Amino acid sequence: MNQKKTKIISYWILAGPPLILFLSVILFPILFSLIISLSNWSGSGSLQWVGLKNYIEIIHDRIFFHGLRNNLLIVAISVLGQIPLGFVLAYILYRKIVQREKFFETMIFLPITISPVVIAILWNQIFSTSGLYTSIIRKISNNPRYVVSIFENQSLAIIPILFVILWMYTGMYMVMYLANLQKISPSILEAAEIDGASESQILLHIIFPFMQGVIMTTTIFAITGSLKSFDLIYAMTGGGPAHFTEVIAIYMYTNTFKYYKYGFGSAVSIIIVLLSVGLIFLLQILSRRLDRKYS
Amino acid sequence: MKKREIVRLFVLCSFCVSTALLVGCNKKGEEATTQESGTITLSAYHYLDQTDKTTAPNFQALVEAFNKKYPNIKINFEFGYGEAYHTKLQTLAASGQLPDMMVVYPGKRTAYITSEGHVQDLRPRFSGHESEFASIALKSQGPNGEMWEIPEDISVTSIMYTNNKLLKELGLTFPKTLDELIAQGETIRQAGLIPISMANKDAWPMQSCLASMLAERTGGMEWFDKAVKGDGAGFDDDVFVRALEIINFLHEKEMFSPGINQLAYMQGLDDFVNERAVYFIDGGWMVNNMVGELSDEQKEYMSLESFPDIPNQKGESGSASGVAGTGFGMNSDLSGEKAEAAWKWIWFYSGPEGSAIRQRFGRLPAYNLKAPDDVDPMIKKLINYVGSIPMGYVLDSVVGAEGIGIFNNDLQEMMFGLTTPKDVASKLEEWVNENDRSN
């Protein structure tokens, strides 16, 4: 057997099973979803083609756009909140700017180890009308009818959820950044310090270029994760009241599994895929520009 | 064997293994349907919250009694609750793996299986038992009068539970009219209490427990029948808009629990049993919980009332909304002795024996039973209440899941001032007109 054939065999042995798994688990459901999205299938019975009717209905639905707006806010809090904050925290711990860094590392990472449903119950216990915060304010203000009104405001109701998302997931990015920062050879930093580089110069000219790939990867995680947000919000508010905290995934779930509109729900899921791909594509353009700048 | 063949064989094996893993060799999952030493095994999917400390032991007692009576029938139960129950049931239906028996609704809620022919019409088996059941249980469940399930109980969805001790302490009596009720609000709030405890975070209680009853009051049953069928009346009629205006009015006058649309469902009951609220509007099923939650003394002064009369009322005074309860249905594929065994369970569950067991635990069975003398006082009150009131429809039993889901959320929006009763009513009529005039 010549080397070329051995290479081909090795390739298929290694790549064959994962490729089949990928086609079955990832590509097939997406394609199947795409087909279903062009029908009015109700989960059972016959399937009738309706063309782009589901997509047209979606883009005329204000609830979808409110959900999309909430999703984009989650993307924003993830990309502009969790990632910079995670990086800053990792940098502080890496450069040992605070003492007892192991303790802080554990505390910041702790929320991500807890189930989103438990987190949702925990924060509900604090903010609900029978919860801790409301009870304290009712006592202090002597107003037994006090409630946290932000939850009843169409535009602002998502804010407490954004706060919980920021609190919960920042630790994950911090650990990812910290692990990568620790890969930087200390001798490089020592050499820079000996050469008289300031902290900001070290950060801008050594750390950032080294971390660029990781930041890119985590940003993709943040975007795709944000567009799929479901469990925490569903357990916390169910998308309510009156769709105020609804996100696209809840919109999809409601239409698919509560109203039995599998075709419609599939169309929503395809839109989520397209949004994810679109945002990642934009991010890659941005990344290439940054690459050129650093090179 | 040549190398190329080895590669092909490997790829083929990989594909087969992956496919087998993904599709799942479901032999194990298939319910045993064969007879083993004379025992008939059935599968059943039950709607039950297994953490419910009243209902779960009740069901267990019922199963034990059945097993004692029919030792040759073995039923493997699976449990689901809330939306998860419906999601799984529909998935089972879509994949052709429905169990032998499953809990179904008399109305539209489980239309996803009943209207698709997955459930047997039980009328031929039920025939002759009609006089043994409350009349509300015998209402048609399908478009041709089908009976998909034998209702286990009667669900009165609108009862105004009243704390008469608090009323007396505040110098008040139960109001005869809506105006009198509103007038009591100030006195009750000043005492630091909630006038009407309701929890509407899940959005359905306002529709099921108040709006449905008000619709019958403002329009009367004749109008309601016509509106459901689209026969010269609709949900955008003034009478229905008026029902929604009353909800808005009660909300504006701060009659409901503070933050009603943020309150988790059981919080409404909690405020009432802990005497933080004078009235509590919810369904008859709450008596089930009150049996365990209220003290003997409380059970004496708590009463079950109907919502007061409203101005220009066309419906009947003292009416409530109600619907026949759920019950077990039988898979349409079942035949022979398996079908006979399934019917034995269904009849045991909803017939005299199961009903007597459920009654002991605080349910109001659809089967006509005389209440035993030692029954809990709250159950006695519920039986007397249901026996004395005219009953209207519950909207979620006559309007499909999507329409009612939209309506429930619209009610919340209306209370936040984002939409008007007229718009909510028009939207419901529009949906029903387009999708649901099949009643």
Encode pLDDT of B94-115 as tens digits: 888 999 999 999 887 888 889 8
What is the token pair recorded at B58?
Answer: 């009740």
Of the ranges A121-135, A200-214, B131-145, B206-220, the best mean pLDDT one: B206-220
Q: What are phi and psi of B242, to 5 degrees?
A: -60, -40
Whether the CB of A42 is below 8 Å from some CB of chain B: the reply is yes
Q: Which residue has the higher pLDDT, B15 or A262?
A: A262
Q: Which of B3, B8, B18 to mutate to probe the A interface, most A CBs <10 Å? A: B18
Encode pLDDT of B28-60 as tens digits: 444 444 445 689 999 999 999 888 777 888 899
* Neighbouring C-beta atoms of residue A221, cutoff 10 Å: 17
Asked whether residue A293 carries a pLDDT value surpassing 80, the answer given is no
8 Å CB contact between A250 and A197: no
Residue B22: the pLDDT is 45
Residue B315: the pLDDT is 93
Residues of A in contact with B264 (CB under 8 A): 124, 128, 130
Encode pLDDT of A53-78 as tens digits: 999 999 999 999 999 999 999 999 99
Per-residue buried b or exposed e for B346-380, using 16+ beta carbons within 10 Å of the residue's own CB: bbbbbbebbbebbbbbbbbbbbeeeeeeebbebbe
Residue A99: the pLDDT is 84
Residue type, B198: M
Alpha-carbon distance of B117 to B332, in angstroms, equals 7
Instruction: Give the residue-averaged pLDDT of B289-317.
Output: 94
Asked whether residue B27 carries a pLDDT value surpassing 50, the answer given is no
Q: Which of A3, A13, A14, A20 to mutate to probe the B interface, most B CBs <10 Å? A: A20
Residue B305: the pLDDT is 96
Residue B94: the pLDDT is 80
Encode pLDDT of B164-189 as tens digits: 999 999 999 999 999 999 999 999 99
A258 and B94 in contact by Cβ < 8 A?
no
Instruction: Give the residue-averaged pLDDT of A18-35.
Output: 91
Residue type, A183: K
Asked whether residue A127 carries a pLDDT value surpassing 70, the answer given is yes
A44 and B94 in contact by Cβ < 8 A?
yes
Alpha-carbon distance of A186 to B267, in angstroms, equals 57
Residue B24: the pLDDT is 44
Instruction: Give the residue-averaged pLDDT of A134-152.
Output: 89
Tell the burial category of B71 from Cβ atoms under 10 Å away from its Cβ (0-12, 13-18, 19+): exposed
> Residue B276's closest chain A neighbor by CA?
A144
Q: Which of B258, B264, B409 sits opposite A147 (nearest CB)?
A: B258
Q: Which of B13, B23, B109, B262 to mutate to probe the A interface, most A CBs <10 Å? A: B262
Residue B30: the pLDDT is 41
Cα separation values, B293 from A97, B153, B156, B382, Å: 55, 21, 20, 16
Residue A227: the pLDDT is 87
Instruction: Give the residue-averaged pLDDT of B332-347.
Output: 95
A128 and B15 in contact by Cβ < 8 A?
no
Element at B324 (helix H, strand E): strand B320-324
Alpha-carbon distance of B356 to B360, in angstroms, equals 6
B14 and A17 in contact by Cβ < 8 A?
yes
Whether the CB of B2 is below 8 Å from some CB of chain A: the reply is no
Closest by Cα among B415, B52, B412 to B202: B412
β-pairing, B154-156 with B101-104? unpaired
Q: Which of A144, A148, A240 sits opposite B203 (nearest CB)?
A: A240
How far is CA A42 from its chain centroid? 30
Asked whether residue B13 carries a pLDDT value surpassing 60, the answer given is no
Confidence band (pLDDT; 50, 70, 90) for A294? Answer: low
Whether the CB of A148 is below 8 Å from some CB of chain B: the reply is yes
Residues of B in contact with A242 (CB under 8 A): 203, 261, 409-410, 412-413, 416, 418
Closest by Cα among B391, B361, B392 to B378: B361
A146 and B18 in contact by Cβ < 8 A?
no
Mean pLDDT, chain B, whole residue set = 88
Whether the CB of B22 is below 8 Å from some CB of chain A: the reply is yes
Element at A272 (helix H, strand E): helix A262-294
Whether the CB of A9 is below 8 Å from some CB of chain B: the reply is yes
Encode pLDDT of A72-117 as tens digits: 999 999 999 999 999 999 999 988 888 888 888 888 888 989 999 9
Residue B4: the pLDDT is 56
Residue B37: the pLDDT is 63
Whether the CB of A144 is below 8 Å from some CB of chain B: the reply is yes
Instruction: Give the residue-averaged pLDDT of B423-427.
Output: 97
Whether the CB of B388 is below 8 Å from some CB of chain A: the reply is no
> Nearest C-alpha of chain A: how many angstroms from B413?
5
8 Å CB contact between A64 and A251: yes
Strand order across the beta sheet in which B40-47 lies: B73-80, B40-47, B101-104, B327-330
DSSP string covering A220-259, please? Answer: HHHHHHHHT--HHHHHHTTT-STTTT--HHHHHHIIIIIS
> Residue B259's closest chain A neighbor by CA?
A147
8 Å CB contact between B221 and B398: no
Confidence band (pLDDT; 50, 70, 90) for B25? Answer: very low
8 Å CB contact between B99 and B345: no
Instruction: Give the residue-averaged pLDDT of B392-408.
Output: 90
Q: Which residue has the higher pLDDT, B110 or B66?
A: B66
B262 and A254 in contact by Cβ < 8 A?
no
Alpha-carbon distance of A30 to B184, in angstroms, equals 58
Encode pLDDT of B264-288 as tens digits: 888 999 999 999 999 999 999 898 8
Alpha-carbon distance of A245 to A59, in angstroms, equals 19
Beta bridge partners of B428: none
Alpha-carbon distance of A44 to A50, in angstroms, equals 16
Closest by Cα among B404, B369, B407, B403 to B386: B369
Residue B429: the pLDDT is 96
Instruction: Give the residue-averaged pLDDT of A245-260.
Output: 91
